[in-house]
Amino acid sequence: MLLEGYYLQDESGIHFSREQASRFAKGVAGDFNPLHDVNAKRFCVPGDLLFAVTLAQRGLWQKMAFTFAGMVTDALQLSLESPQPGTCLLADDHGKEYLKVECEGGNTTDEKLIRDLVYNYVEFSGKTFPHILIPLLEKQQVMINPARPMVIYESMEISLDRLDVDEITLKFDDARLEVNGKRGTVHLLFNLFSGDEKIGQGDKKMLLSGLQPYDAEKVNALVADFNKIKDAYDPDNPAL
């Protein structure tokens, strides 16, 4: 799946360097969340990379529910275990869980299908900000804190009617934002296709914190800064 360059696996388990995780976030997913910067104080491995590694190692099931329980840092040594049928856990040496995956239905290890889903999904996921999130915030007249933008990937579910297909593509369907004081919940809905045939759907859920009243000038500056960082990204020198 060409994921070998984005994580390490040895006798001590699965682990991620800052450079690997940041390169995946920016170079593959187009995700420029500052939490994935190599020099970030609160660095974390993108959830999309954990999703990709899980599918690469355990295959694709017709129904999968991913729940993210903690921020994975470059200091962690993780293992991917299956304590019971239909469940996978990504946990550290002390048993703390960082990702729980519940699976149902048929399973495939077809590398092309898994690659199709992974790369279609992470490309879609990486476009959350600003393309999808900013219009949602404007409609609700709230915004994330520009000084400390906290957007947390909480969970994702996918459901496929069949696996006997030659390809999987993804199309964005709809997005919803529910605001409760300074917190918000975002649902990103998408459909999965094989050619012109719809074969499934999915829902990505994110949590927002530190919401404040919408300020167009501050939002425009935040988007401009984001685009500046994105435009300056050099895949040949990803640490910058």
Q: What is the CATH number of the domain that holds 13?
A: 3.10.129
Domain count of the chain? 1
Each residue's pLDDT tens digit, 167-194: 999 999 999 999 999 999 999 999 999 9
The percentage of residues in the chain with a pLDDT greater than 90, rounded to a whole number, is 73
**Residue at 240 is within a domain:** no
**Residue at 22 is within a domain:** yes
Mean pLDDT of 115-127: 91
Are the beta carbons of 106 and 62 closer than 8 angstroms?
A: yes
H/E segment holding residue 112:
helix 111-126
Beta bridge partners of 185: 178, 207
Phi, psi (deg, nearest 5) at residue 19: -65, -45
Two tokens at 33? 């969340």
**Residue at 238 is within a domain:** no
Are the beta carbons of 211 and 143 closer than 8 angstroms?
A: yes
Per-residue pLDDT for 240 more than 50?
no
**Residue at 90 is within a domain:** yes
Q: What is the pLDDT of residue 167?
A: 96
Distance CA 81, CA 158 (A): 21
**Neighbouring C-beta atoms of residue 68, cutoff 10 Å:** 22
Each residue's pLDDT tens digit, 125-147: 888 889 899 999 999 999 999 88
Mean pLDDT of 57-71: 95
* CA-based torsion, 45, 97, 3, 65: positive or negative: negative
Each residue's pLDDT tens digit, 5-42: 899 999 889 999 999 999 999 988 888 888 888 998 88
Nearest-10 crossing angle of helices 216-232, 133-140 = 170
Distance CA 89, CA 98 (A): 8
126: domain range? 4-232
By the 10 Å C-beta count (0-12 exposed, 13-18 middle, 19+ buried), 26 is classed as: buried
CA–chain centroid gap for 73, Å, is: 15
**Residue at 68 is within a domain:** yes
User: Which residues, other chains included, contact 2 with Cβ-Cβ below 8 Å and sequence gap of 6+?
Assistant: 115
| Helix, strand, coil abundance in the chain, percent, nearest 5 | 30, 35, 30
Reported pTM: 0.90
Q: What is the pLDDT of residue 113?
A: 95
pLDDT band for 105, please (50, 70, 90 cuts): very high
